[in-house]
Amino acid sequence: MALAGGGKLGQKVSVGYCKLCNEYKKLVKAHIIPQSFHLSTFDNGEMPRIKGDKYNNKRSSTGIYDYMLCSDCESIFSPWDDYAYDFLTSPIPQDAIIGCDNISYAYQVNNFNYEKLKLFFLSFLWRASVTQHPCFNNIQLGKYEKILRKMILTKDADFSNEFTIIISKLLSTVSGYMFPVREKIKGINFYRFWIGEFQFLIKVDQRSCPKVFLDCELSDARPLLILLNDFNTSGMKKIMIETLKKANKNIVGS
Ligand SMILES: [Zn+2]
């Protein structure tokens, strides 16, 4: 099932203005959620489901894409996408797990490529913002869209401190993904993404991250803590249901 073309659904646009370089060029199929992440959400060989509004529970073999970038710009993302996928899907070393009483709260990664990982998340957010695909209608970045574009073009992960990333991984296997939503946590604006077993919170706000996240913000100054959550007992199931309700409420299909 092809979910997107440029402009309206199913309408392929092969030439137009590239959203990144702004040049009038041939446009290529650009995945909003990198293809590797999409394929990783396959459930026992079955195509992943997309949860939200009119695509609710539809299966997709190809993922979500849009014709919005030229091939030169599309290739900029590949090293970041590849690194993030390999990094996040690597087995968790048992001695890196932090927890007590047989409950795992997080795991710590001491060595990682901060720039590549942060640029992956920032470029992912930007792609979700500029696409016309209705799955991402909830992403409205306003002035932050231009800031992200500049960070991508200059490959500068720290050009602006408005963006902070918190990564969570579910201990249970969850297939598919759902529409991202914007939400406030302690009054601060975040976007929440679910892709398979991963949940990413991206702060889009000039104000500092709420204290509860201070130890697990993606930073080049300390090891990275990736939160671990049991889907059934950690409250994540409730959060996912609330996210789905919010996504359905906010989406305006095209
Ligand atoms: Zn371009």
249 vs 201: which has the higher pLDDT: 201
Per-residue pLDDT reduced to its tens digit, 145-167: 999 999 999 999 998 889 999 99
DSSP class of residue 46 equals: B
> What is the rounded CA–CA span in Å between residue 74 and residue 160?
23
pLDDT at 194: 82
Q: How far is the CA of 12 from the centre of ligand 1 (A)?
A: 17
Rounded to the nearest angstrom, the distance between the alpha carbon of 74 and the centre of ligand 1 is 7
Neighbours of 23 (CB within 10 A): 10
pLDDT tens readout for residues 238-248 = 666 666 566 55
- Among 165, 171, 213, 159, residue whose Cα is nearest residue 191: 165
The 10s digit of each residue's pLDDT in 59-85 is 555 567 889 999 999 999 999 999 999
Ligand 1 centroid – CA 66 distance (Å) = 14
d(CA 197, CA 180): 14
Residue type, 254: S
How far, in Å, is the centroid of ligand 1 from the Cα of 27? 8
Distance from Cα 138 to the centre of ligand 1, integer Å: 24
Cα(68) to centroid(ligand 1), Å: 9
Q: How far is the CA of 28 from the centre of ligand 1 (A)?
A: 10
Taking the centre of ligand 1 as the mean of its atom positions, its distance from the CA of residue 70, in whole angstroms, is 4
SS3 content of the chain, % helix, strand, coil (to 5): 35, 30, 40
Distance 72 CA to ligand 1 centre (A): 6
Mean pLDDT of 7-20: 72
For residue 54, pLDDT beyond 50: no
CA dihedral 81, 86, 88, 92 (to 10 degrees): -170
Q: How far is the CA of 105 from the centre of ligand 1 (A)?
A: 41
Quote the ligand 1 centre to 230 CA distance (angstroms).
Answer: 41
Q: In the block, which residue shows the tokens 């990664």?
A: 109
Q: How confident is the model at residue 237 (pLDDT cuts 50, 70, 90)?
A: low
Q: Mean pLDDT check: name the lowest of 46-60, 118-132, 190-204, 210-224.
A: 46-60
> What pairs with residue 15 in β-bridges?
26
Q: What percent of the chain has pLDDT over 70?
A: 73
CA dihedral 48, 52, 57, 58 (to 10 degrees): -70
Amino acid at 180: P
Q: pLDDT tens digit string along 80-111?
A: 999 999 999 899 888 899 888 778 889 999 99
CA of 10 to the centre of ligand 1 (A): 22
pLDDT, residue 238, reads 63
Task: Look up the pTM and report it.
Answer: 0.81
**Ligand 1 centroid distance, CA of 126 (Å):** 14
